Amino acid sequence: MGYPHPIHPKETPVLSKHFGEVEARPYAGWVERGGYVALKKALTMAPDDITSEVKASGLRGRGGAGFPTGLKWSFMPKEDGKPHYLCCNADESEPGTFKDREILRWTPHALIEGCAIAQLAIRAETCYIYIRGEFTEPYHILQRAVDEAYANGVLGANAFGSGRRIDIVVHRGAGAYICGEETAMMNSIEGRRGNPRIKPPFPAVAGLFGKPTTINNVETLAAVPAIINQGAAWYAKLSLSSPKSTGTKLISVCGHVQRPGTYEITMGLPMKELIYDLCGGMRPGRTLKAVIPGGSSVPIMTPEEVENCPTDYEGIVANGSMLGSGGMIVMDDTTDIVHVAMRLAKFYAHESCAQCTNCREGTAWTARILERMLAGEGKESDLGLLLDLAENMTGKTICVLSDSCAAPVVSGIQKFRPDFDRHLNVERPLKTAGV
């Protein structure tokens, strides 16, 4: 449902069916709603059969990268005799994204069930759910749900009497966007600074504590029980445009729409319908100016690009951006794209772990140049300088944080040039006034 709004006829509520329903949150309420049936089924399946089912469903990573989930699981070694780990990424911090927190707050047992099934598939006894420190309410709800799952024999040494051990530990972050990057997250769980690691080795080979590890997003894992229950074929059919984008996707919409919230759509729903029908369109008297469709790290779209864009991985790429996390920022004609870009650059400058020079310097200088421009002190050469910086921030660093800072700046300059020009062509006050 479009939490906090009622279900819209154009939505496909699978994950969000019970958002806003307090009775669904505790263990008993979740079981009444069909909870843990999928886990019981998975406990009777061979690990590779679970992976094959998820592979056939077409489920792709919902955290931003869109990597096929079953394929990722299949990279995990089999009879290697080492402990394996699952990390659930609940470090939701990408500006514009507030979908995972609704799963954490309303249906924590859906996530626990998804984690447990994934653990069976990748042969991991232990899962760490890494939740961002600022999510105080979701943290307490999730921790209580995990405690309930242990008390009811879902988790522990003998999950549902199967003789299999399934452990889940909630690990709280302490304020660092970069810990949402999978290798930084592993360092953070290990009690280190959250610096991303150089790949290879990839986590499936040497991840958490040096052992084979899979990292999945909250929404990805929460989708797994429904796939096990209703089958891969059912899930794969949920697709309105590209066959490579299947299932449902939570889209958190914010900014200048009439009904911001978290909506669940079938992959491929036209973006225009999402913005105008589900979210009620722009505020009265205002028109659409720009959309950042997938969290702040993706290029900005123009209304022309939105016009015929299906909301799925391929559709948004074809229209100049990316689906990313599904965190959609909608902006109307009151918006100054330079101000938006400045705030985003400040975000990335603040969140850079600073181990790569291009990122540490690039993000900070991008923010400073944009601030200078907004203060009326910009120079014509600044646009070239920003693009030059962006060039040096793309594909040059250990992780993609600096690429993410460059994306809105480059697309902003390319697609919304008049906003930048307006700040450059200002009549400046005289520096000296005879006093």
Footprint on this chain of another protein (rule: CB under 8 A) = 83, 92-98, 101, 126, 132-137, 167, 169, 171-177, 188-194, 209, 252-256, 260-262, 296, 327, 329, 331, 335, 339-340, 343-344, 346-347, 350-351, 353
Q: Which is nearer to another protein, 61 or 255 (CB)?
A: 255
Tell which residue, 84, 72, 74, has the closest CA to residue 48: 74
What's the closest the beta carbon of residue 136 comes to another protein, in angstroms? 4
What's the closest the beta carbon of residue 45 comes to another protein, in angstroms? 27
Could you count the other beta carbons within 10 Å of the beta carbon of residue 205? Answer: 15
Q: Which is nearer to another protein, 172 or 368 (CB)?
A: 172
Q: What is the DSSP letter of 119?
A: H
DSSP codes joined into one string, 4-71: TSPPPTT---SSSTTTT-GGGSSHHHHHHTTTTHHHHHHTTS-HHHHHHHHHHHT-B-TTTT--BHHH
What's the closest the beta carbon of residue 403 comes to another protein, in angstroms? 17
Spatial strand order of the sheet with 85-90 comes to 167-172, 126-131, 85-90, 213-217
What's the closest the beta carbon of residue 327 comes to another protein, in angstroms? 7
Q: Which is nearer to another protein, 226 or 410 (CB)?
A: 410
What's the closest the beta carbon of residue 423 comes to another protein, in angstroms? 16
Q: Which is nearer to another protein, 41 or 343 (CB)?
A: 343
Q: Which is nearer to another protein, 61 or 261 (CB)?
A: 261
SS3 assignment for 374-395: HCCCCCCHHHHHHHHHHHHHCC
Tell which residue, 192, 153, 152, 148, has the closest CA to residue 170: 148
Could you count the other beta carbons within 10 Å of the beta carbon of residue 367? Answer: 22
CA gap 19, 137 in Å, rounded? 15
What's the closest the beta carbon of residue 279 comes to another protein, in angstroms? 10
At which residue do the structure tokens 């722009």 appear? 282
Q: Which is nearer to another protein, 81 or 434 (CB)?
A: 81
What's the closest the beta carbon of residue 341 comes to another protein, in angstroms? 8
What's the closest the beta carbon of residue 31 comes to another protein, in angstroms? 25
What's the closest the beta carbon of residue 90 comes to another protein, in angstroms? 10
Tell which residue, 431, 334, 423, 430, has the closest CA to residue 375: 423
Distance of CA 81 to the CA centre of its chain: 33
Q: Which is nearer to another protein, 95 or 324 (CB)?
A: 95
Residues in CB range of 256: below 8 A, 6 or more apart: 282, 283, 286, 330, 331, 332, 334, 335
What's the closest the beta carbon of residue 253 comes to another protein, in angstroms? 7
Residues β-bridged to residue 213? 85
Q: Which is nearer to another protein, 82 or 199 (CB)?
A: 82
Q: Which is nearer to another protein, 30 or 348 (CB)?
A: 348
Residue 198 exposed, middle or buried by CB count within 10 Å (0-12, 13-18, 19+)? exposed
Number of C-alpha atoms within 13 angstroms, CB side, residue 142? 30
Q: Which is nearer to another protein, 188 or 220 (CB)?
A: 188
Expressed in percent and rounded to 5, the helix, strand and coil fractions of the chain are 45, 15, 40
